[in-house]
């Protein structure tokens, strides 16, 4: 609770912006700003971290999602550190529910990038190479963070679910649990593991995300448990199912 307090996690928004589902988590109002009950936040964070630890132990992936300016860089950094997929610019509709098409765009990004690195674009004119460079930059902006998503994620971690309704809807359709750092203007009802705290402050976001990272790393240190799911042309399969099919 002390670290959350020092990070400013207790600050919500004005009462007029409060979502009704947030009422149990508001401790007081000071200078027209709602103060979040950090004791409840700490409990929610503990529950979320225990779940994240189990995801790490199962060797499943977490898809990090944050498209607001305060969180984009933080989420990108931690996802890259953990070698996890991320969407830190804009959530593209169908990222989960139409992942087959997404994989085609990711494959194109990898193909063009590898050809450029191997200097195999010499057959094209200067103008054509410039257009290819622009296409690579465009694909990397929207699909670069998903290159490592070889399996359906075990969970989504979202900063500010109010801004990521499409991601939550897709996750719910596929029965993927959502962990989310949610401010007092967010609806926590669709979330499996809400973490009610200040989602507009970099220090608060960084503090919460640090706990999630530590929990996932702790899970990865444990003996592997369960079977992860992978994405194949035939759909979603568990690793065990895929191994039987291949044999």
3-class DSSP string for 152-170: CCCEEEEECHHHCHHHHHH
pLDDT of res. 246: 43
Determine the 3-state secondary structure of 169 from DSSP: helix
pLDDT of res. 226: 65
The answer to whether position 34 is within a domain reads yes
Same domain as 137, residue 29? no
Same domain as 28, residue 8? yes
Per the CB < 8 A criterion, the answer to whether 123 and 85 are in contact is: no
CB atoms within 10 A of CB 107: 12
Q: List all residues 6 or more positions away from 208 whose beta carbon is below 8 Å from its beta carbon.
A: 9, 45, 181, 195, 197
Report the domain count for the chain: 2
For the segment 29-45, the average pLDDT, to the nearest whole number, is 91
Same domain as 139, residue 119? yes
The answer to whether position 242 is within a domain reads no
pLDDT of res. 2: 86
Same domain as 185, residue 87? yes
Report the chain's terminal Cα–Cα distance, integer Å: 51
- Confidence band (pLDDT; 50, 70, 90) for 88? confident
Same domain as 136, residue 109? yes
- Confidence band (pLDDT; 50, 70, 90) for 119? confident
Q: Does residue 232 have a pLDDT over 60?
A: no
Same domain as 203, residue 115? no
CATH number for 48: 3.40.50.10490
Same domain as 123, residue 11? no
Same domain as 207, residue 113? no
Tell me the Cα Rg of the chain. 20
**For 149-208, what is each residue's pLDDT tens digit?**
877 899 999 999 999 999 999 999 999 999 999 999 999 999 999 999 999 999 999 999
The answer to whether position 111 is within a domain reads yes
User: Which pTM does this prediction carry?
Assistant: 0.84
Q: What Å distances lie between residue 87 and 93, 94, 138, 247, CA to CA?
A: 12, 13, 14, 35
Across the chain, the runs of DSSP E, i.e. the strands, are 11-14, 26-30, 33-36, 62-65, 86-87, 155-159, 178-182, 193-196, 229-232, 235-238
Same domain as 168, residue 107? no
Range(s) of the domain holding residue 126: 100-145
The answer to whether position 39 is within a domain reads yes
**Mean residue pLDDT across the chain:** 87
| Out of 53-57, 62-66, 151-155, least confident range | 151-155
For the segment 114-128, the average pLDDT, to the nearest whole number, is 83
Q: Which of 235, 243, 199 is nearest to 75 (CA)?
A: 199
Separation between Cα atoms, residue 145 and residue 3, nearest integer Å: 30
Separation between Cα atoms, residue 212 and residue 16, nearest integer Å: 30
For the segment 18-37, the average pLDDT, to the nearest whole number, is 89
Same domain as 134, residue 104? yes
Helix-, strand-, coil-residue percentages of the chain, each rounded to 5 = 50, 15, 30
Q: Bridge partners of 28?
A: 35
Q: Among residues of the chain, what percentage have pLDDT more than 90?
A: 54
For the segment 217-236, the average pLDDT, to the nearest whole number, is 67
Determine the 3-state secondary structure of 173 from DSSP: helix
Same domain as 121, residue 220? no
């Amino acid at each position: 609770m002390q670290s959350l307090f020092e990070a400013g996690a207790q600050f919500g928004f004005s009462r007029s912006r409060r979502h009704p589902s947030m009422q149990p988590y508001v401790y007081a109002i000071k200078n027209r700003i709602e103060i979040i009950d950090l004791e409840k936040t700490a409990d929610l964070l503990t529950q979320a971290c225990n779940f994240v630890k189990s995801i790490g132990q199962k060797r499943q992936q977490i898809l990090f999602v944050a498209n607001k300016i305060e969180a984009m860089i933080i989420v990108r950094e931690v996802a890259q550190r953990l070698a996890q997929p991320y969407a830190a610019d804009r959530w593209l509709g169908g990222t989960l529910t139409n992942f087959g098409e997404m994989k085609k765009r990711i494959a194109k990004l990898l193909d063009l990038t590898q050809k450029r690195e191997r200097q195999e674009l010499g057959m094209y004119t200067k103008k054509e190479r410039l257009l290819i460079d622009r296409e690579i930059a465009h694909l990397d902006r929207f699909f670069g963070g998903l290159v490592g998503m070889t399996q359906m994620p075990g969970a989504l971690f979202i900063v500010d679910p109010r801004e990521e309704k499409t991601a939550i809807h897709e996750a719910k359709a596929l029965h993927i649990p959502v962990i989310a750092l949610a401010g007092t203007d967010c609806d926590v009802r669709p979330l499996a593991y809400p973490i009610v705290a200040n989602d507009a402050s970099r220090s608060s976001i960084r503090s919460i995300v640090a706990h999630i990272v530590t929990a996932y790393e702790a899970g990865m240190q444990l003996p592997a448990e369960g079977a992860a799911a992978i994405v194949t042309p035939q759909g979603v399969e568990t690793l065990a199912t895929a191994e039987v099919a291949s044999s």
